[in-house]
Amino acid sequence: MSDELVVLRGGSRDGESTKVQDGVRRLLAASAAPGLLEVYEANGETEHLEHNREDALVFAHAGQEPAGDIAPELLHSPPG
């Protein structure tokens, strides 16, 4: 499978970019709020990111949800 470049818009991860497998349309990331996850969903838009040849898919902030049973060591801490 190929990878796609995505940029996160909104929430505690606003402006961060990453690569996801082609076809991923929902992404969970650690929140600045303890015990919560930031939920991002593809919105069908693309955006040019400086220093990248390809446009990035935009994943917009869709809210937060409890981390639940996800082990803390599996989460990446938000920048700060």
Q: Tell me how far the alpha carbon of residue 20 is from its chain's centroid.
A: 9
Is 27 part of any domain? yes
d(CA 77, CA 80): 9
Number of domains comprising the chain: 1
Q: Would you say 9 and 16 are in contact if contact means Cβ atoms under 8 Å apart?
A: no
pLDDT band at 26 (very low <50, low <70, confident <90, very high): very high
Q: Is residue 36 part of a domain?
A: yes
The pTM score is: 0.83
pLDDT band (50, 70, 90) for residue 35: confident
Domain that holds residue 7: 3-68
Domain-embedded: residue 55: yes
Residue 73 domain flag: no
**Is position 35 within any domain?**
yes
Looking at the domain assignment, is residue 47 inside a domain? yes
The mean predicted confidence, pLDDT, of the chain is: 87
User: Could you tell me if residue 74 is inside a domain?
Assistant: no
| Residue 80 located in a structural domain | no
Query: What's the pLDDT score for residue 22?
Result: 93
- Number of alpha carbons in the 13 Å side-chain half-sphere of residue 3: 7
Question: What is the H or E stretch that residue 45 is in?
Answer: strand 36-47
